[in-house]
A and B are shown apart, each in its own frame.
Chain A
């Protein structure tokens, strides 16, 4: 059964994202929230890592209100990275009833 991985720390402050991505597997989803959304900025090493896990069948979502708070617009995100609002977060939590915070 798949897992929703929630990453809430900046990849430049904490190794959380890397630790998460090493353990996520096909069918899982990664949700970036709080300072975790900075990882999705296109052109960064972390966005490249996220692009690589997309190819492995792991979906990556960024929490939209947390992007907006930080002045990040969806066009700045790395390729293939999607956004979800709070309703979408709930849908993810329903679809993937087990979650893991990083």
Chain B
């Protein structure tokens, strides 16, 4: 039976391998037909910035990893509104279509899930 998973991504895209590994878990869950929701908050919203151009050898813009989400039919993507506002960002600047959720409503979103994975 499918469970409801929420992945809370709250680190910047170049702050170590945390998010990359969390995405691997996320895509695995999705590949096994679990119901997956993603919430970007805090520095996690920086993962969604368009125009990322890392120069280092072997480095790829983080957004290219996020492109896999739609391939796995993960389309429940939420961004915490206050995290964007605090960083001077607007939803139009993000690479994926997302739904905004207010900080006050995050608890309710977490409440709907069976499993929470946070990184």
Chain A interface residues toward B at CB < 8 A: 10, 12-13, 34-35, 38, 41-45, 47, 65, 68-73, 76
Contact = CB atoms under 8 A, between A and B. Distances in A.
Sorting the interface of chain B by its residue count into under 10, 10 to 19, 20 to 34 or 35 or more gives: 20 to 34
B88 A47 contact: yes
Contacts of A12: 42-43, 86-87
B46 A73 contact: no
B60 to A, nearest CB: 11
Interface in B9-28: 11-15
Q: Is the interface of B mostly helix, strand, loop or mixed?
A: loop
25 contacts: A12-B43, A12-B86, A13-B11, A13-B42, A13-B43, A35-B15, A35-B43, A38-B12, A41-B88, A41-B89, A43-B88, A45-B86, A68-B53, A68-B55, A69-B14, A69-B52, A69-B53, A69-B54, A69-B59, A70-B12, A70-B13, A70-B49, A70-B52, A71-B50, A71-B61
